[in-house]
Amino acid sequence: MISLTFAEVARAVAGDLRPAAGADAETVVSGAVDTDSRLIEPGGVFVAKPGETADGHEFVDAAVERGAVLAIVERPVSADVSQIVVADVVTALADLAREVVGRVRARGDLRIVGITGSNGKTTTKNMLARILEGEGETVAPRASFNNEVGAPLTMLRVTEDTRFLVSEFGASGPGEIARLAGLVEPDLGVVLMVGMAHAGGFGGVEATLRAKSELIHAVRPGGIAVLNADDARVATMAQIAQAREQAVRWFGRGPTADVRAEDVDVDADGTTCTVIVDGARLPLRLRVLGEHHVMNALAALAAATALGVAADVAIARLQTLELAERWRMQPLGSSRVRIINDAYNASPDSMAAALRTLAQIAQPTERTVAVLGAMSELGEFSGEEHDRIGLLAVRLNIRRIVVVGAEARRLFISVISEGSWDGEAVFFATADEAYDYLMSELRDGDRVLVKSSNAAGLRHLGDRLGESFS
């Protein structure tokens, strides 16, 4: 975080400053801000966030032991540390992020990018950050820090030397993206797609469209909207951009996009294609597994070139990225049995893309195995979407389908109903049971996809399989 006095922090968060012995309102703090006491470093600020299972106020002493010099709390605690008492620490976190980013932006050379979409946010964020790091200090979220806590924590990592802030905006309901993006008013807003992810929380795909559109509403007038030309719902956001005097930069696979791809070819080591950037044709070799990541790469390239990075330079940097993120199409195992662990998150679109990738990369002599768990947050659409994925798995001729967890049982029933039987499809209530089965079933030449939402916990099953066959 940038250097601020205790008084300046207190004013930013509308809190009551209570300095510890030896400190006063003019004491300066510049350390990192965090809600996790285990991550606090000397000189840091600890935000005592109450949680569902633990209350951050109980960990103020632990934060002090790790070097915290200031705690933001909702009630005073008996710890030897300066405290700022606020009505709501999550609101205070957002207010502090707005203040810090605003001060850095006032110097004139900080560029801010916001990214949203039903799928691909984290991968695109990592791709864009990899490109921009070569231009200057770049701050981007760790993992999927994209909610009401994670997004402000990322913003608070900016320093006086930061040139680019890449923010990822997720949402579980209407208004959340507007609040988060409104803290920083991005110069660029990137919208990847509007799909069924979290549709249960939004009330349907049209409500999801309205929620994702909040990012373009938040981009400052005269900024740039980077939009998916292949997604009809995203394309409607051009009207919002034009009304706010924003330029529109299109990416996609179709011929009208400013940044597009042709001649896409997928294998077990990555994806090759020709990228056309404003008419210039350039080769791209993505080491990140999966054809669907081509669209994420196009979005990152569209944003980077809009920020002034030369297309050939951006592509060269992008090609150095080996992994989008842990548990996202992560290759594990060995050439003997290859495990693809993609079980950090799942929506109907990402589940379908992962299954298609599995089918694409397997050679005729190799057997495909899909280990599938539930897709969360689909609400009333859950049943039909699990049905659809079950049908797709059979029609892609996935040779073994292993369904795990009671919440995914309907997917298994759909597979059976579609005509996969006689041991081709099996169901297990727990990941441990599935692991035991797979250890006895997998053989040389198998290509295995592990895919589910985070809540299903199959990412740990994927890790176990990867270690066992490494």
| 117 carries a ligand binding annotation | yes
Share of the chain above pLDDT 90, in %: 84
| 118 carries a ligand binding annotation | yes
| 126 carries a ligand binding annotation | no
Q: Tell me the pLDDT tens digit for each residue of 289-313.
A: 888 999 999 999 999 999 999 999 9
Among residues 102, 98, 89, 80, which one has the least CA distance to residue 15? 89
Confidence bin at 197 (pLDDT 50/70/90): low
User: How high is the pLDDT of residue 89?
Assistant: 97
Q: Tell me the pLDDT tens digit for each residue of 311-322.
A: 999 999 999 998
Confidence bin at 420 (pLDDT 50/70/90): low
Q: Is the pLDDT of residue 248 over 90?
A: yes
Segments making up each domain of the chain, as ranges: 4-88, 109-318, 330-468
Q: What gap in Å lies between CA 33 and CA 213, rounded to an integer?
A: 30
Q: Is the pLDDT of residue 380 over 90?
A: no
The answer for residues whose C-beta is within 8 angstroms of residue 244's C-beta and 6 or more apart is 216, 217, 219, 221, 223
Q: What gap in Å lies between CA 245 and CA 221, rounded to an integer?
A: 6
Residues 385 and 378: beta-carbon distance below 8 Å? yes
Confidence bin at 127 (pLDDT 50/70/90): very high
Q: What gap in Å lies between CA 17 and CA 33, rounded to an integer?
A: 17
User: How high is the pLDDT of residue 432?
Assistant: 97
| 345 carries a ligand binding annotation | no
| 208 carries a ligand binding annotation | no
Scanning 196-328, the segments in alpha helix (DSSP H) are 199-202, 205-218, 232-235, 238-243, 293-306, 311-318
Q: Is the pLDDT of residue 243 over 90?
A: yes
Confidence bin at 196 (pLDDT 50/70/90): low
User: How high is the pLDDT of residue 378?
Assistant: 87
Q: Is the pLDDT of residue 202 over 90?
A: no
Return phi, psi of residue 333, to 5°: 75, -140
Confidence bin at 68 (pLDDT 50/70/90): very high
Three-state DSSP at 82 gives: strand
Phi-psi region of 137 (alpha: psi -120 to 50; beta: other; left: phi over 0): beta
Q: Is the pLDDT of residue 373 over 90?
A: yes
Confidence bin at 201 (pLDDT 50/70/90): low
User: How high is the pLDDT of residue 124?
Assistant: 96
Q: Tell me the pLDDT tens digit for each residue of 327-364.
A: 888 999 998 999 999 998 888 999 999 999 999 999 99
| 417 carries a ligand binding annotation | no
| Domain 4-88: which CATH number of 3.40.1390.10, 3.10.20.30, 3.90.25.10, 3.40.50.720 | 3.40.1390.10
Q: What angle do CA 101, 104, 109 make, to 5 degrees?
A: 115
Say which CATH superfamily domain 330-468 falls into: Mur ligase, C-terminal domain (3.90.190.20)
| 78 carries a ligand binding annotation | no
Whole-structure pTM value: 0.89
Q: Is the pLDDT of residue 268 over 80?
A: yes
Query: Mean pLDDT across the chain, nearest whole number?
Result: 94
Q: What gap in Å lies between CA 370 and CA 389, rounded to an integer?
A: 11
Q: What gap in Å lies between CA 23 and CA 145, rounded to an integer?
A: 32
Q: Tell me the pLDDT tens digit for each residue of 131-186.
A: 999 999 999 998 778 899 999 999 999 999 999 999 999 877 789 999 999 999 99
Confidence bin at 85 (pLDDT 50/70/90): very high
Say which CATH superfamily domain 109-318 falls into: Mur-like, catalytic domain (3.40.1190.10)
